[in-house]
Amino acid sequence: MASIADTLATAGSLAGELLDRALDRQLRLAVTGLSQSGKTAFITALVNQLENACAADSRLPLWQAQRRGRLLGVRRVPQTNAHIPSFAYTAALDRLFGDPPTWPESTRGVSEVRLEIRYRPVGRFARARGTLYLDIVDYPGEWLLDLPLLRLDYRAWSAQVAATLTPGSRRRDLAAPWTSWQPAAASPFAEEAAAGAARAYTAYLHACRGQLGLSLLQPGRFLLPGEHEGAPMLQFVPWVWAMPGDTCAEGSTFRVLEHRYEQYKKHLVRGFYRRHFAGFDRQIVLVDCLHALNRGPECFRDMQHALHRIMESFAYGKGNLLARLFAPRIDRVLFVASKADHVTPDQHAHLVSLLQHLVRDSQLVARFEGVSTDCLAIASVQATEVAPGRAGGRTLNGLRGHALDGSALFVRPGEVPAAIPDERWWRERGEPFDSFRPPRVEAGSPLPHIRLDAALEYLLGDRLD
């Protein structure tokens, strides 16, 4: 009898455990943005804040669960997706706490970190303890720029690239090394020559980004090849020379390049959407408006276009290509103007307003599709402190911090335009916005930040009730 009772008791507790596990929820939070928008710093800071959320010196008052003391603890746990590289959290943290502190290294591909959040649920039928598994997935925003390629065949895409190389433009000058290849379309494919041209094309893309500050560069994987570096599907160039007829034989240069382009689309573009994008629940898009404003009108417009392309991925219309590929489930998208600590607090409203103008169209579409969106100005790691200072006999609020080279800086940065800047603004704009290096923080204490707690509230708030 006793053994039966024991068995029943064991079964009962097992059922309870299973129920608990079924009720335990998980959330996949995707973080993206164009390169240099602060993704790695954001994730590092987010994990750092979460790990310290229950400490006495935590500063997340705008996050309700934390303020009301419903948070029991957060810790990093091993991720379940073993095929995705781990986010290099410790390395990034070491750099932020280093001497001198430096910004973490940038994203090179998909990476992931998993956190276990324990909290006290509210409500009449609440369990004693809830657990939320939070997967934070980092991926380069450039990969989303490849989405439109799915609609273009090799010829159409090549024509599009050729159109950007207008005579006399700087792009055309930079493109000279690979456009000088001049292959014959029908001749047999020569591996070495093509690989050389592809290398030159990749160098051209890097030059466009580095020298011209452009973001809308395709194919995006050429810039950040990740684990596929050296694969043949990453070795092709757009056909900007005289377009051949339909007579090219199998194995000819044109055919092989066309084939590689299609392989790229199939394995890398589609593959990314299937394997990663379809599983995301929440998305945060980081935008570095200040950098684009510093680089000038051309770069700014380019970023605007690139953002628009990125947003297309989140607009799930019926006729949308994505909707046919998979059933996406992202229900909240947060647009973030990063590096808000590089301007005085009174400019944050302008920064948000500028961001809203940048993503306006996609926000409307997303809302129509039932996806809620919001815009925030944040600083993952607050590199400056606000202090009043004197200039020309007047007292102004300014920022005190250190420039990237370590020299002390105490300035009042200029005003941020509240809407897409017009010609006049570009003509009359003042000096560029300064870059700051991370602050010196005592080891063990949470990093200072601006509004990360508000971002947490928006992204996680409803899941911790």
By CB under 8 A, name the one of 198, 306, 411, 447 that touches another protein: 411
Nearest residue (CB) to another protein, 77 versus 386: 386
By CB under 8 A, name the one of 83, 124, 318, 390 that touches another protein: 390
By CB under 8 A, name the one of 15, 18, 184, 386 that touches another protein: 386
Reduced to 3 states, what is the DSSP secondary structure of residue 28?
Answer: strand
Q: Which residues contact 297 (CB under 8 A, 6 or more apart)?
A: 421, 423, 426
Angstrom distance (rounded) from CA 187 to CA 215: 34
Whether 382 contacts 449, CB under 8 Å: yes
Q: How do beta strands 25-33 and 130-138 pair?
A: parallel
| Contact between 55 and another protein per CB under 8 A | no
| Contact between 291 and another protein per CB under 8 A | no
Whether 413 contacts 436, CB under 8 Å: no
Residues 158-197 that bind another protein (CB under 8 A): none
Reduced to 3 states, what is the DSSP secondary structure of residue 381?
Answer: coil
Contact region with another protein (CB under 8 A), list: 91-99, 292-300, 306-314, 432-440? 432-440
| Contact between 421 and another protein per CB under 8 A | no
| Contact between 346 and another protein per CB under 8 A | yes
| Contact between 153 and another protein per CB under 8 A | no
The minimum distance between CB 120 and another protein, in angstroms, equals 17
Residues 316-345 that bind another protein (CB under 8 A): 340-341, 345
By CB under 8 A, name the one of 3, 180, 247, 395 that touches another protein: 395
The minimum distance between CB 392 and another protein, in angstroms, equals 8
| Contact between 53 and another protein per CB under 8 A | no
Tokens (6 digits) for 336: 């973030």
Burial (CB < 10 A; 0-12, 13-18, 19+), residue 195, is middle
Contact region with another protein (CB under 8 A), list: 21-29, 227-235, 409-417, 439-447? 409-417
| Contact between 14 and another protein per CB under 8 A | no
Number of Cβ atoms within 10 Å of the Cβ of 97: 17
The minimum distance between CB 151 and another protein, in angstroms, equals 40
Q: Which residues contact 219 (CB under 8 A, 6 or more apart)?
A: 146, 149, 234, 264, 268
Whether 123 contacts 207, CB under 8 Å: no
Q: Which residues contact 292 (CB under 8 A, 6 or more apart)?
A: 213, 299, 300, 303
Nearest residue (CB) to another protein, 286 versus 293: 293
Nearest residue (CB) to another protein, 317 versus 345: 345
Nearest residue (CB) to another protein, 32 versus 49: 49
| x/- map, 62-91, another protein, by CB under 8 A | x-x--x------------------------
By CB under 8 A, name the one of 451, 455, 456, 459 that touches another protein: 451
The minimum distance between CB 409 and another protein, in angstroms, equals 8
Whether 216 contacts 171, CB under 8 Å: no
| Contact between 454 and another protein per CB under 8 A | yes
- CA torsion sign for 302, 360, 31, 147 is negative
Residues 222-241 that bind another protein (CB under 8 A): none
Nearest residue (CB) to another protein, 277 versus 433: 433
Q: Which residues contact 346 (CB under 8 A, 6 or more apart)?
A: 397
Angle at the Cα of 292 (from 457 to 353), degrees rounded to 5? 45
Nearest residue (CB) to another protein, 223 versus 289: 289
| Contact between 368 and another protein per CB under 8 A | no
| Contact between 121 and another protein per CB under 8 A | no
By CB under 8 A, name the one of 210, 245, 319, 388 that touches another protein: 388
Residue where the block lists tokens 């570095």: 288
What single-letter DSSP state applies at residue 269? I
Q: How far is CA 95 from CA 31, 58, 139, 260, 437, in A?
A: 20, 21, 20, 39, 11
| Contact between 123 and another protein per CB under 8 A | no
| Contact between 420 and another protein per CB under 8 A | no
Whether 251 contacts 299, CB under 8 Å: no
Residues that bind another protein (CB under 8 A): 59, 61-62, 64, 67, 340-341, 345-346, 348-349, 352, 379, 382, 385-392, 395-396, 398, 410-415, 430-434, 450-451, 454
